[in-house]
Chains A and B, each alone.
Chain A
């Protein structure tokens, strides 16, 4: 399976949401990391044929996906950021309906729905109305619907948004399980989501892919060092003014700071290994920080 983005551009009036992206994806998990408004959702919507590009093309195994139409969507599973459903449908009916939309024969659909309900841990909730499910259960129903047609391309837009930490870990594990022999594109602004499961990470900002590579390559891409040091309360403000702080742990007499800087920021500072979160902060600056605070 190969998806090729060729000079892909999407403009909304004078605003360019996706700006001349050219990439090739094969099987594996791709983590698309970027702050809100980076163009992730627009890119994913084009990959799902929900939006037509203003310029450029998307090819699936050499064919234009918009010309392939239903044949392309046959290979596709999609969990959108805002997972909408029919509130009065039971989980079972909802999945059967989506299976019908995916063109799965009724007998096969019934079997597949049973399997997936069990796989995502919704067996006891199969007869419950969708509106009665918890946030985590809804997301699991969402991943089940995306998997109904055993898709070769799975596109997950912010799949863990709004989930509690336990659900997030469970969800990550589920995606890992599903990743064999598939192309999975996982978009998120939660760094830890992609840190553990993505084979390749894309950092997206202002409609373009700023950096791409394995976790190690991405971490190695920042030209600065990461430092940790404990400082007194009266020093915190000055350091925050002069350096990028990726983390601050407040303590009774001061704070332990994680600082991104080419030079040693303080005498007591010790160099430490950079993490993906540091990279995220380095590239997306204050915007990334406010999102991280939002998440915490």
Chain B
């Protein structure tokens, strides 16, 4: 019966088009993701693709290993040497690019230094150029100092409770140092672009998913459906199973294809590096590796998709139409970004389902929730909340559809 349900859905031209569009967008996203990793060669020319990635990996992996004080001093020294070179001092951009080409290998470590020695809400690309060896020695302490300064600043002092402040500081201190570093651009690019393809998958899947329960009414086949022996029990369950199968099958197919293509080309090196070794993850209080972040992104994306699309099924079962249900993902994914400027809503926005679809960014946000004296980040809350809500929606969905009256 599930097979027939799936066949019913994908026999519709509109749904076939949605799948083809998803395949096209997947290809485009892969192309953009791979293209986002650039390498600047000795001539100052930018390139991307398999060859460029290989050369970038070689350059960066020359700096692979623990980021100790010695390594940082070496970076400082190398950076100063390049800054003194003709290419760097030239007024010609192409010459400057040649200088940058020499810094590429340690550019991630350079970024970490810039972050560590500039105020929390700022970023000074040239800060590393003025660092001294004495300052370098305080590299890891500096991360906590910058955070603490910010938490005590006017901007943040009333924003978080004492427990919340202690929670973040403790998490910062718990980060195992010295950090291990190696080339991890594959994971970083994946984390940056994965939300795009996950959101596109949810938006396009809403069309076939909304049809599962509305289809009977659109085809005017509901009278026969509900007058059959299994029409009000097993057949309704089959629709739910079909929905879960379609969501699960298509989501994981898309994600696995995206993972294989992106990580296959950009590489899986750096899986065990902490996300704090990257520009985006430096401030995160989630002490996880890139591999763990990958599982959070794909797992969170699945749970978020499952919730949003279960809601789509629920609404289509309730309204017997696809018009309103297909707009639900648009509302859930895009309205929060319009409301993000309202400080009153910031706490609520941090645990909306769209956060599950962009876990790479969620782990970098300072969304905290306090229950009594216990403080939680948004990630564990949404990872539990939405699967529970999805599970709660399914029996409701079954109930309302199996009790449908045909007037």
Q: Which residues of A contact B (CB under 8 A)?
A: 12, 45, 48-52, 69-71, 73-74, 76, 78, 80, 82-89, 93, 96-98, 100-103, 145, 149
- With a 10 A CB-CB cut-off, give which of B223, B231, B234 has the most chain A CB atoms: B223
Considering the complex of A and B, which 3 residue pairs feature the smallest CB-CB distances, nearest first? A84-B220, A88-B11, A84-B221
A-B contact list, 26 entries, CB within 8 Å? A12-B407, A48-B223, A49-B227, A50-B223, A50-B227, A51-B405, A51-B406, A51-B407, A69-B232, A69-B233, A73-B229, A74-B229, A76-B227, A84-B223, A85-B219, A86-B11, A86-B215, A86-B219, A89-B7, A96-B4, A98-B224, A101-B228, A102-B229, A103-B230, A103-B234, A149-B229
Residues of chain B lying within 8 A (CB to CB) of residue A51: 405-407
Residue of chain A at shortest CB distance from B234: A103
Contact A49 B226 (CB under 8 A): yes
Residues of chain B lying within 8 A (CB to CB) of residue A83: 220, 224
Residues of chain A lying within 8 A (CB to CB) of residue B12: 88
**When A45-B406, A78-B227 are in contact, do A101 and B235 touch as well, CB less than 8 Å?**
yes
* One of B11, B216, B224, B407 near A78 (C-beta < 8 A): B224
Q: How far is the CB of B214 from chain A (nearest CB, A)?
A: 13
Residues of chain B lying within 8 A (CB to CB) of residue A88: 8, 11-12
Complex Cα gap A89–B228 (Å): 18
Complex Cα gap A86–B406 (Å): 18
Contact B224 A145 (CB under 8 A): yes
Complex Cα gap A98–B157 (Å): 65
Q: How far is the CB of A221 from chain B (nearest CB, A)?
A: 32
Apart from A45-B406, A70-B233, A86-B8: 13 A-B pairs, beta carbons within 8 A: A51-B405, A51-B406, A52-B405, A69-B232, A69-B233, A83-B224, A84-B224, A85-B221, A86-B219, A100-B1, A101-B225, A103-B229, A103-B234
Q: How far is the CB of B404 from chain A (nearest CB, A)?
A: 9
* One of A93, A96, A102 near B228 (C-beta < 8 A): A102
Complex Cα gap A105–B1 (Å): 11
Please encode chain B, from 215 to 251, with 1 for each CB lying within 8 Å of some chain A CB and 0 for all others. 1100111111111111111110000000000000000
Residue of chain B at shortest CB distance from A74: B229
Complex Cα gap A46–B222 (Å): 14
Contact B1 A101 (CB under 8 A): yes
* One of B215, B219, B229, B407 near A101 (C-beta < 8 A): B229
Q: How far is the CB of B120 from chain A (nearest CB, A)?
A: 58
Please encode chain B, from 191 to 233, with 1 for each CB lying within 8 Å of some chain A CB and 0 for all others. 0000000000000000000000001100111111111111111
Please encode chain B, from 107 to 139, with 1 for each CB lying within 8 Å of some chain A CB and 0 for all others. 000000000000000000000000000000000
Complex Cα gap A103–B228 (Å): 8
Q: How far is the CB of A66 from chain B (nearest CB, A)?
A: 11
Residues of chain B lying within 8 A (CB to CB) of residue A87: 219
Residues of chain B lying within 8 A (CB to CB) of residue A52: 405
Complex Cα gap A92–B229 (Å): 20
Q: How far is the CB of B58 from chain A (nearest CB, A)?
A: 53
**When A12-B407, A50-B406, A51-B406 are in contact, do A84 and B232 touch as well, CB less than 8 Å?**
no
Complex Cα gap A74–B222 (Å): 17
Complex Cα gap A76–B405 (Å): 17
Residues of chain B lying within 8 A (CB to CB) of residue A100: 1, 4, 230
**When A51-B405, A78-B223, A85-B221 are in contact, do A101 and B231 touch as well, CB less than 8 Å?**
yes
Contact B221 A70 (CB under 8 A): no
Q: How far is the CB of A73 from chain B (nearest CB, A)?
A: 5
Residue of chain B at shortest CB distance from A78: B227
Contact B223 A70 (CB under 8 A): no
Residues of chain B lying within 8 A (CB to CB) of residue A78: 223-224, 227
Contact B219 A80 (CB under 8 A): no
Residues of chain A lying within 8 A (CB to CB) of residue B222: 84
Q: How far is the CB of B347 from chain A (nearest CB, A)?
A: 45
Complex Cα gap A64–B139 (Å): 79
Please encode chain B, from 8 to 51, with 1 for each CB lying within 8 Å of some chain A CB and 0 for all others. 10011000000000000000000000000000000000000000
Residue of chain A at shortest CB distance from B12: A88
Residues of chain A lying within 8 A (CB to CB) of residue B216: 84
Q: How far is the CB of B92 from chain A (nearest CB, A)?
A: 63
Contact A93 B224 (CB under 8 A): no
Complex Cα gap A99–B224 (Å): 11
Q: How far is the CB of A50 from chain B (nearest CB, A)?
A: 4
Complex Cα gap A104–B357 (Å): 42
Q: How far is the CB of B15 from chain A (nearest CB, A)?
A: 10
- With a 10 A CB-CB cut-off, give which of B12, B228, B407 has the most chain A CB atoms: B228
Complex Cα gap A183–B199 (Å): 54
- With a 10 A CB-CB cut-off, give which of A82, A85, A101, A145 has the most chain B CB atoms: A101
Contact A80 B405 (CB under 8 A): no
- With a 10 A CB-CB cut-off, give which of A50, A74, A82 has the most chain B CB atoms: A50
Residues of chain B lying within 8 A (CB to CB) of residue A98: 224, 228
Residue of chain A at shortest CB distance from B11: A88
Q: How far is the CB of B5 from chain A (nearest CB, A)?
A: 9
Complex Cα gap A84–B406 (Å): 13
Residues of chain B lying within 8 A (CB to CB) of residue A93: 4, 7
Residue of chain B at shortest CB distance from A82: B220
Q: How far is the CB of B222 from chain A (nearest CB, A)?
A: 7
Residues of chain A lying within 8 A (CB to CB) of residue B405: 50-52
Residue of chain B at shortest CB distance from A50: B406
Complex Cα gap A87–B11 (Å): 9
Residue of chain A at shortest CB distance from B406: A50
- With a 10 A CB-CB cut-off, give which of B225, B227, B234 has the most chain A CB atoms: B227
Residues of chain A lying within 8 A (CB to CB) of residue B406: 45, 50-51
Complex Cα gap A201–B43 (Å): 96
Contact A50 B233 (CB under 8 A): no
Q: How far is the CB of A142 from chain B (nearest CB, A)?
A: 8
Complex Cα gap A103–B1 (Å): 10
Residues of chain B lying within 8 A (CB to CB) of residue A45: 223, 406
